[in-house]
Chain A
Amino acid sequence: MDADRTAWEQRSVVRVIAPVEPRKLAKVPFVELADGRLQGVVSSGSDIERVYVSSITAGSLAMSCSTNNNRPCGALHGYACKHVRLLADEAILQYGLDRVARYLRVEADPGTGLNLNGPVERTPAAVVFSRFLRHLAYLEVPDSTEPLAELHWFPAMGAVR
C-alpha cells in the first residue's frame, strides 16, 4: 500500500482530476464546483437572451438564484426553483453524485440524489456570471501550432478504465 502510494507520488503523469462526463449543455451551459459552492448558469426557458445564475453553498446548502442582471428568481422561496434543481441534476451528470455530495459536505442517497432543503440566501450573480463569461472566452482563443512540450504532462487520459 505504502509502496503504491510512493510510486504514485513519484510519477510525473497521474490523474489528479476525475474526468468529466459528457452531458447536453442546452439547458445548463455551465456548472462548476468552485468558491465553496456548486454554481452555474441555467438558460431561461422562455427568453433566449436571459440566463439564471444559480448556486448551492457547501455546508449550509443555502440556495441562490437570480438573472444575470441580478433580478431575484421569483420561483425561489422556501424550496428549490427549477433552475436550482436543473443545476443540481446537471452537476450530478457531469461530476457524479459522490463528488458533488462530497464538495457540498452532505450525505447523498443514490436513490433520491441531493436533498435540496437549505435556506434561501441571495448571493451576487456577478461573480459566477463573470466566471461563465471567462469559460466561454476560451472558445475564442486562437489555435496554436507552437511545440508546447508542457502538454506531455497532460495526456488525453480518456475514461477511467
Chain B
Amino acid sequence: MLDLQLGELTAAGPEGVDDALGLVDGFDGALAHGFARIGEEPAAALAALAGAMAGGPLGERAAEAVDKVIAGSIGDEHLAVLAGARAALTGAVHDALLTRLDTALHRERAPWEPAPATGAVPSGSAPATGAELPGNLLAGCRAWLRELAIAGWRGVDHDVVAPSDQAIEALLAVPALRGLAVLLDGLAAELRASCPVSTMDRLPARRWGDLWTRGVLLSRSGPWHGGAEPVSGRLLILGADVHEHATVVRVQVHGILEPAGGGPARLVRTGVAAAKVDTIVGPAVWRLVSGHPVLLGALAGHRALDLTDMPLLPGGDLLWHEDRAAAGEEADPFTTARVLLGAAQAAPVPPLDRHSVRIAEPVLVEGYKIDGGTLELGGSRIALDLDRLPTGTPLTPELVAASSVCLGLVRWDGRWLLQPLAVQATVKKKPVTAHTGDWALGPTDPKVVKAEAKAGDAVAVLRERAGRLLRK
C-alpha cells in the first residue's frame, strides 16, 4: 500500500456511513431495553429503521414487523425481518467501505453471481440448502434469540442465558451449523460473564446487536455459502489470522491461488477451526489443529502448497482437505505480496456476510514510521490493531514498533485499522522476521518452549480426564 493509497483510504467518509450506523445504533438501543415494553424512544428508532427500508424489498414487511413488535406481538417472522433490516444497513456500510478500499488499492473484485436456484452440489462442498438441517434445532435457537430480544440486554440474567446450553450442545453435533454454534456459544459466554447485565457500566450494544442479528439470520435456514467448485493450482501463503473465544480457535490463512492452467491469481482464504476450552490458551492452541500437518507445516515452514481439486466457495474460501494438498517449494510471504498482491483478484462477498467486521484485506506496507499504536506513511496515518496479535506467536507489539515492512490485514471498526500478520524489523541492529504462523508446529523460541513445558500439557491433562470420566 502506497502513501497516496493510504491517504485515499483514510480520507473523510464514505458518505452515508454515519447515517446508516445511526439507525443501527437506534435499533441496538431498542434491543438493549428489550421488546417486552417498548418506550417512546425505542419505538421511534424502530420506526426509523423501517422507514429506511421503504422503497426496498423489505419495506412493507419491515413496517409491519415494527408495528407488530411495538404492539407486543413478537414472532420469529417479525424478528427475522428486523434482523434483515439491520443487516441491510450494515451491508450497505460494508459495501461503501469495501468499495473505498478496493478503489484505493486498485484491487479488482469479481462480481457476486447469484447461485442458481437448483442444480447439483459439487462433491466435497458443504450442503448449500437447509433441507437436511434439523428444523427443531434451528427453532430452539430462534426461541432463545427471541427470549433475548424480549428481555433486552439490560434484562439478561442467569435464567435467560441458561437455556442456550442445550441448543448449543446440539448445534455442535451438526457440522453444517458450526458457524451458528460458535456464534451463540461466544455470545452466551459474554452474557454469562456479564450477568446481571443491568449492572454493567457500559454495554457492548453494537457488538451484541451484530451477534444477535447474525444468529437470527443463521437460525432461519442455516448458512449461505453457496456451492463449491473444485480448483487446482499453487497456493502461496500471505499470513495467518487467529480467531478465538473460550471454546473455539480458528486459524484462517490468507493466500494467493495461482490456478493451474492459467487465469488471474486469486486472493483466497482457508482455515481450520477446533473446539477447545477456556483453560487452553497461548501457543498450546496450535496443538488443537495439529490434525492438519500439511497446512500447518506450510505456515511454519513458509512453503507453497500444491492443491488438487480443493473445493472453493464463491466467497473465496477454500474448504481445506489435507489429502488434496501437498507441500511445495519454499515461498516467502513478503515476496508473494510484492510480486502478486497488486494484481491478484479478490473474491466477492456473499450478500449476508456483508458486514464491516468481515473486511480483512491483505496489504504490504513499507517505508513507514510507527508512533505508538499508529502507523504513519507519507503524512497519512492508520491505527494498528495490536489487540489482534495472538499470544501464541512470535509477533509482538515491540517487534511491530521496530518494524520497517509489514504484511497485514486492513480492517474497519469505526475507523480504518491495520492488523499485522508479519513484519520485518531490526532488533539490536540485526534483521528479524516474524509471522503469526511461525509457531504453527510448536514454539521455536527456547524460552517459550521451556515455559510451556513447565506449565504442562493442558490438552493432554483434559483428554486424560475426559477418557476416564466421559464414558462412564
Decide if A150 touches B459 in the complex (CB within 8 Å). Answer: no
A95 CB, min distance to chain B CBs, angstroms: 10
Decide if A143 touches B462 in the complex (CB within 8 Å). Answer: no
User: Which of B21, B175, B469 lies in contact with A136, CB distance below 8 A?
Assistant: B469
Instruction: Tell me the dominant secondary structure on chain A's binding face.
Output: loop
Mark each residue of chain B from 331 to 360: 1 if its CB lies under 8 Å from any CB of chain A, else 0. Answer: 000000000000000000000010111101
Give Cα A26–Cα B465 distance, bound, in whole angstroms: 9
Mark each residue of chain B from 158 to 178: 1 if its CB lies under 8 Å from any CB of chain A, else 0. Answer: 100000010001001101101
Decide if B204 touches A14 in the complex (CB within 8 Å). Answer: yes
Count of A-B residue pairs with CB < 8 Å = 219
Decide if B275 touches A139 in the complex (CB within 8 Å). Answer: yes
B interface list, Cβ under 8 A from A: 21, 25, 126, 158, 165, 169, 172-173, 175-176, 178-180, 182-183, 186, 189-190, 192-194, 202-207, 210-211, 214, 218, 223, 225, 241-250, 252, 269-279, 281-282, 284-285, 289, 291-292, 313, 315, 317, 319-321, 353, 355-358, 360, 386-392, 397, 413-414, 419, 455-456, 458-459, 461-463, 465-466, 468-470
Decide if B273 touches A145 in the complex (CB within 8 Å). Answer: yes
The 5 closest A-B pairs by CB, nearest first: A156-B390, A141-B275, A151-B243, A156-B244, A147-B317
Decide if B249 touches A156 in the complex (CB within 8 Å). Answer: yes
- By a CB distance below 8 angstroms, the chain A residues around B465 are 29, 43, 51, 136
Give Cα A47–Cα B387 distance, bound, in whole angstroms: 43
Decide if B165 touches A148 in the complex (CB within 8 Å). Answer: no
B63 CB, min distance to chain A CBs, angstroms: 26
Q: List 24 A-B contacts (CB under 8 A).
A: A8-B202, A12-B357, A16-B207, A20-B281, A22-B281, A23-B455, A24-B455, A35-B158, A135-B277, A138-B247, A139-B466, A143-B272, A144-B274, A146-B179, A150-B218, A151-B182, A151-B243, A153-B357, A155-B244, A155-B387, A156-B391, A157-B387, A157-B390, A161-B397
Decide if A161 touches B386 in the complex (CB within 8 Å). Answer: yes
Give Cα A140–Cα B288 distance, bound, in whole angstroms: 11
- By a CB distance below 8 angstroms, the chain B residues around A154 are 182, 186, 243-245, 248
B119 CB, min distance to chain A CBs, angstroms: 20
User: Which of A8, A12, A136, A156 lies in contact with B243, CB distance below 8 A?
Assistant: A156
Give Cα A89–Cα B244 distance, bound, in whole angstroms: 26
Decide if B275 touches A138 in the complex (CB within 8 Å). Answer: yes
- By a CB distance below 8 angstroms, the chain B residues around A77 are none
Give Cα A15–Cα B250 distance, bound, in whole angstroms: 18
Mark each residue of chain A from 82 to 97: 1 if its CB lies under 8 Å from any CB of chain B, else 0. Answer: 0000000000001000
- By a CB distance below 8 angstroms, the chain B residues around A22 are 279, 281-282, 284, 455, 458
- By a CB distance below 8 angstroms, the chain B residues around A144 are 175, 178, 272-274
Give Cα A22–Cα B280 distance, bound, in whole angstroms: 7
- By a CB distance below 8 angstroms, the chain A residues around B357 are 12-13, 152-153
A113 on the B face (CB < 8 A): no
Decide if B388 touches A12 in the complex (CB within 8 Å). Answer: no
| Besides A51-B465, A147-B269, A155-B387, 18 other A-B contacts (C-beta < 8 A) | A9-B202, A11-B414, A16-B190, A22-B282, A22-B455, A24-B461, A25-B279, A36-B158, A68-B469, A94-B279, A133-B470, A136-B277, A139-B275, A148-B179, A153-B207, A154-B245, A157-B387, A161-B386
Decide if A145 touches B319 in the complex (CB within 8 Å). Answer: yes
- By a CB distance below 8 angstroms, the chain B residues around A132 are 469
Decide if B292 touches A140 in the complex (CB within 8 Å). Answer: no
A59 on the B face (CB < 8 A): no
Give Cα A68–Cα B360 distance, bound, in whole angstroms: 47
Decide if A10 touches B243 in the complex (CB within 8 Å). Answer: no
Give Cα A51–Cα B462 distance, bound, in whole angstroms: 13
A128 CB, min distance to chain B CBs, angstroms: 13
Decide if B175 touches A139 in the complex (CB within 8 Å). Answer: no
Quick one: closest A residue to B354, CB to CB? A149
Quick one: closest B residue to A23, CB to CB? B279
- By a CB distance below 8 angstroms, the chain B residues around A14 are 204, 207
Quick one: closest B residue to A5, CB to CB? B202
- By a CB distance below 8 angstroms, the chain A residues around B270 are 145
Which chain A residues numbered 65 to 91 have a C-beta less than 8 Å away from chain B? 68
Quick one: closest B residue to A8, CB to CB? B202
Q: A153-B211, A156-B388 are in contact. Are A11 and B206 (CB under 8 A)?
A: yes
Decide if A151 touches B250 in the complex (CB within 8 Å). Answer: yes
Decide if A136 touches B466 in the complex (CB within 8 Å). Answer: yes
- By a CB distance below 8 angstroms, the chain A residues around B391 are 156, 158-159
A34 on the B face (CB < 8 A): yes
Mark each residue of chain A from 22 to 49: 1 if its CB lies under 8 Å from any CB of chain B, else 0. Answer: 1111100100011110000001000011
Quick one: closest A residue to B269, CB to CB? A147
Decide if A12 touches B455 in the complex (CB within 8 Å). Answer: no
